[in-house]
Structure 1
Amino acid sequence: MSSSQTITKDIDKIIARYAPISLGVDLSNFTKNEKIVLGKLVAVGKLIDRIYLRQKWKGNESLFNQLLSSKPRDENAILLFNLMKGPWDRVDGCVLPYPSNLPKHKPLGGNFYPEDMTKEEFKSWFENLLPKDKKYAKGFYHVVKRNEETRELYLNPYSIEYKDLLNDASNILKESAKLVEDESLSKFLKSRAEAFLSNNYLDSEIDWLNISKESRIEITIGPYEVYTDELFSAKSAFEFYIHARDFQSSKMVEKFSESLQDVENHLPVPDEYKNKDLKATPIVVVDQLYSSGDVAVPMAAAYNLPNDEEAIKRGGSKLVIIKNVQEGKYQKILEPIAQLTVSHDQLQHLHFDAFFTHILLHEVAHSNGPHYTIGSNPETVRSRLQEYHSAIEEAKADITGLFAAILLLQNGCLTAPSLEQFYVTYLASALRSIRFGINEAHGLGQCIQLNYILEKGGFEYDERTKRFSVNFFKMPLAVSNLTRDILIMQGDGDKACVEQFILKYGTIREIVKDSLKRLENARIPIDVRPIYKIETNIIESFPMNEENVRQFISFCEI
């Protein structure tokens, strides 16, 4: 077998680990203008994708262009690149089998910092900056670059660094703002278009939070998550989502926003570790139509934004629950995992509603607990914990969300799913997330939780049957104690303590490795991958003339 055939075979094997799901909705209730806007927004998404490729690694665009221009063109190699948003496997961190001389490991700082910059060099440079520049250096919206002549570091705002792509994206957003009927959505599109040019995102974040409950289109666009910056968890990556709002489901889950303060009041920590600036979180249930940018596998099933502490303090946050993605994950991944790893007598407690509701509570729980360190000189938890922040924050949201489920069932705010359904579904989902690998924040966060709860007896493992089970008697205390430990570590901002905690609990046990191996041998997918129906839906559900069709296709190929 030739080397090219081996590469193709390896790529096919990796793609098979991600089950395809078709995502889309009936657009017949969308207006003519809304359908045109969807086409324009897909065009913006293509631009956001290119920005993120630059942010991920400086060689990404060149490699992608090489894949696109190769003859014969390997469509699966292109598909895999798009799934991972670069040449490194998201699960084990290794370089993917592309026929190129690529770096073995991805740069920890992405392309937000010079690849040869050390943490010591950054710290020395940072100490000599003006106060305003210090804020930018550790903030979300500036890259750190190196002057090739003087070798000195300097700051460059995103608005300049990605000017060629942001200018086009801004123009299309302004065109879209003129077409949409919902005034709040129009206001957000205009203000976000301006933010792309000014590099000031605060006002448009507030406009995003205030998009009307009546808007059929829910859009998220901009620099948000910090997972790509594995050096300091400081720099935000561009991502993009178009969703169709599920009005009925959104109305059903409003009660969870109202219970946020009650959960905060009952957190098992001293009062100084509780969030003093908690704001009710609007919750929107949606079906995903399209995504791009920082949306590599594993696919997001929900998100709670913004992450900018200033925006949260001023306007709170918004929780977006992506129902059709969750349904795909549950059917294609979670159920098959449980059938092989969970005790037979507890499989009856596996339930989609428990999966859906815990994801919802996970995202709500990002608002709970301290966002600033305790003491006379508070700093953001993110800036103190740096590279450990993302994993410990994901673990916090998971376990605090489960703690909230217990509380809400006790006080009657929730009547279903049952506590047993929450616990067993959470157990199966822990094994699901660990399969993403502990190089990824969600996988490492779940590994920490699984090991901690096993140690405290909340989970048990039967060597004879090779299956896990929940000890329903010990589980509540294990959940409460882990919630307490993580929230206190975050409030203290003690990076060394967090590092030791992760070293102790962030290693995959042999019993877990054995389970993961059995799942792999059974060829159960790791996650899902999207096939978006939006282009076909728009053209089929809205009778365009030939010119409009050509215009739509040209938008999508920008």
Structure 2
Amino acid sequence: MKNLYKPTIFLSALALSASLFSACTSNTKSTDNKNVTEQRDSLVDYVAHRLPIYEKVKLTTNINLLSVNDRKILPLLIQAAEIMDELYWKQAYPQRDSLLATIKDEKTRDFVNINYGPWDRLNNDKPFVTGVGVKPEGASFYPYGISKEAIEKSNLADKSGAYSVVRKDSTGKLSTVPYHILFASELQKASSLLKQAALITEDASLKKYLTLRADALVTDNFTASDYAWLDMKTNGLDIIIGPIENYEDKLFNARTSYEAYVLIKDKEWSKRLAKYVKMLPDLQKGLPVAAKYKAETPGTDSELNAYDVVYYAGDCNAGSKTIAVNLPNDEKIQQEKGTRRSQLKNAMKAKFDKILVPIAKELIDADQQQYIKFDAFFANVMFHEVAHGLGIKKTITGKGFVREALKEQYSWLEEGKADILGLYMVTGLLKKGELTGDIKDYYTTFMAGILRSVRFGVSEAHGKANMQCFNYFKEKGAFERTTKGTYKVNFDKFASAMNDLSAFIITLQGNGDKATVEKTQKTMALVPAELQTDLDRLTKKSIPVDVVFEQGVDVLGVK
């Protein structure tokens, strides 16, 4: 049973990396070790070059605003989140401890921890540990080396399940193991911590959610807790926890990864944002696409909230850090109830100050740098999340939900939809007088945001989405690259390109046209050489690509 719980997906690569790292640490000067030493030095140099792309940020907030009981609950939630971190390691790279034991270079160890494995997530999953090969598309969710066709042709009842892994025995027979069995011990501990927190809280809705979520972790039945989470209105603390996103499963985009966010609600900001969700039905009607693609009615019993995030764990902490969340992902719940869009305000501000502003100073035309504003950045990110609720969830061609029809092509296109429809929402709300500011602020900051996000690489869903947008807008003349190597927005063409791309993406989704989506990815989700040269300038200027957090109870000052 132990082999069942520790997948063999990376064992051959790990054995090689361990032997090479052992050889590399030898003090002998024999010529036999020369090539190995040179290889080690090149990898150490690579890590030394790549590690500074992450800016260290202390993740904290004013906990004095919390009640006494909430300050007691906070450490329990963080402990539960830490367990999600351990589970994500088991999904992304189960041999973490064995790998780290072979690595003597401290910077390489740090880089492994940031990436949750030996592949550079912000450089198209390039391996940076000696002897480690290409990152498996199926992570540890599937038997190593198995083809998509073998899974598709199998008679597994749960072949595309969100909460199970596929295993192969010595005879080659495939079976699935549910998460709640595979990780029973860890999930029981996390469940117990949530129930302890539920006993302490005085907020009835939070108590209900924590209790139901605790039960969900040990059963893989999350629907009731998702509804309870959406019903919470008065809570000051929040935790998003469990197997949620499917980005790590690049084979089928089906299996989910463990993660957690521990959040403290900013009630004043949340109150200011509440009105926008009610406007979704009218905005849906105005989408620049044929009527049959916008016939669905978005749920409006959603909340748009602002939070300070005080702990990231697992999937959301790997490589690029999430700054806004739109959940739950269940399309049935989205249609019936809506979603909650959570804006992670302190993390967002850190990225704006440390990354987006320096990028704009280098790559945005000097005459337009005045339009780079945090309020515009916040709104663009916020409406990206709101825009997940717009468009179409079920195909018009009888292929079921869009997610099911597009499979592994779904996530990147959906992120692209949210990017462009978020901008569409900003444009519409400004015209209605429901949003303040100059459209030039939003468009120019959006352009700078593209240049920020494409640095994540095109192996990641958001990177693919941003490259599609960049290349599409370039074709439409929505911006120009000046002779000085800076980017200048054409505001009129920006708006028309936004509408055209919106229609293009929604139509692809509504048709469930997987073949065309695949073709679009191959032709549009690419980084042109000229843009790469410009992005390299940012690296030479030591402008970070993303952030890495100093976080936990010690940073917050709670016990």
Same fold, TM exceeding 0.5?
Answer: yes
Counterpart mapping for 1:492-503 below 5 A: 492-503=511-522
Letter paired with 1:53: W
User: Comparing 490-499 with 50-59, which one deviates more in the overlay?
Assistant: 50-59
CA distance in 2, matches of 1:106, 1:516: 24
Deviates more, 1:84-93 or 1:299-308: 84-93
- 2:199 — aligned with what? 178
Correspondence 1:345 to 2:364: no
The amino acid across from 1:217 in the alignment is: L
1:486 aligns with 2:505: yes
Partner of 2:33: none
User: Contact 2:93–2:116 at 8 Å: present in 1 too?
Assistant: no
Question: Given the superposition, is the C-alpha separation of residues 187 and 161 from structure 1 closer, same or farther in structure 2, using an over 3 Å criterion?
Answer: same
State the match for 1:543 in structure 2: none
Q: 1:39 aligns with which of 61, 75, 95?
A: 75
Corresponding residue for residue 182 of structure 2: 161
Q: Secondary structure at the match of 1:47?
A: helix
SS of the equivalent of 1:267 reads coil
CA root-mean-square deviation = 1.9
The aligned counterpart of 1:237 is 257
Structure 1 regions of 5+ residues with no counterpart?
A: 540-551, 553-558
Return the alpha-carbon distance in structure 1 between the equivalents of residues 284 and 126 of structure 2.
43
- Could you tell me whether the CA contact under 8 Å between 2:399 and 2:512 is conserved in 1? no
The Cα shift of 1:367 comes to: 1.1
Asked if structure 2 preserves the Cα contact closer than 8 Å seen for 1:143 and 1:156, the reply is: yes
Q: Among residues 349, 363, 366, which one is paired with 1:327 in the alignment?
A: 349
Pairs aligned (count) = 521
Match of 1:268 in 2: 288
Tell me, in whole angstroms, the C-alpha distance in 2 between the residues paired with 1:297 and 1:252.
31
Of residues 116, 139, 143 in structure 2, which corresponds to 1:85? Answer: 116
CA distance in 2, matches of 1:302, 1:275: 27
**In the alignment, which of 321, 338, 342 is matched to residue 299 of structure 1?**
321
Query: 1:388 and 2:409 equivalent?
Result: yes
Q: Residue 12 of structure 1: SS of its match in structure 2?
A: helix
SS class of match (1:224): strand
Deviation at 1:182, TM superposition (A): 1.0
Q: 1:505 aligns with which of 504, 521, 524?
A: 524
Q: Which residue of 2 is the match for residue 466 of structure 1?
A: 485
Tell me if the contact between 2:399 and 2:405 (Cα under 8 Å) persists in the aligned partners: no
1:517 is the counterpart of 2:539: no
Alpha-carbon distance, 1:245 to partner:
0.7
1:256 is matched with which residue?
276
> What is the correspondence of 1:5-20 to structure 2 with a 5 Å cutoff?
7-20=43-56
Distance 1:472 1:525 in 2: 28
Paired residues for 1:139-154 under 5 Å: 139-146=161-168, 148-154=169-175
Q: Supply the distance in 1 between the matched residues of 2:456 and 2:126 (Cα, whole angstroms).
A: 16
Residue type of the alignment partner of 1:491: G
Contact 1:21 1:528 in 2 (8 A): yes
1:397-422 CA distance string (max 9 Å, x none): 00111111111111111122x11011
CA–CA separation in structure 1 for the residues paired with 2:401 and 2:83: 31
Q: Which amino acid aligns with 1:80?
A: F
Using the size of structure 2 for normalisation, the TM-score is 0.89
What is the CA-CA distance between 1:219 and the residue it aligns to?
Answer: 1.1
In the TM superposition, residue 247 of structure 1 has moved relative to its aligned partner by: 0.8
Counterpart-to-counterpart distance in 2, 1:324 and 1:536: 15
Report what 1:546 is aligned to.
Answer: none
> What's the counterpart of residue 340 of structure 2?
318
For residues 330 and 249 of structure 2, the distance between their equivalents in structure 1, rounded to whole angstroms, comes to 15
> For the residues of structure 2 that align with 1:338 and 1:109, how far apart are their CA atoms?
37
- Deviation sequence 1:282-338 (CA, Å, 0-9, x none): 111001111101121211110101112233234321100000111111111111111
1:270 to partner: Cα distance: 1.8
Distance 1:397 1:121 in 2: 33
In the alignment, is the contact (CA less than 8 A) between 1:15 and 1:80 conserved in 2? yes
Residues 271 and 60 from structure 1, CA distance in 2 versus in 1: closer, same or farther, beyond 3 angstroms? farther
2-structure distance, mates of 1:93, 1:265:
38
What's the CA shift for 1:74?
5.2
In the aligned structure 2, how far is the partner of 1:173 from the partner of 1:402? 38
Q: Percent sequence identity over matched residues?
A: 34
Report the residue type matching 2:473 in the other structure. I
TM-superposed CA distance for 1:6, in Å, is 6.0
Q: What's the offset of the Cα at 1:451? A: 0.5
CA positional deviation for 1:76: 3.5
- Which sits farther off after the overlay, 263-272 or 242-251? 263-272
Shift of 1:60: 3.5
Gaps of at least 5 residues in structure 2 are 1-23, 26-36
**Per the alignment, in what secondary structure is the counterpart of residue 488 of structure 2?**
strand
Question: Aligned partner of 2:119: which letter?
Answer: W
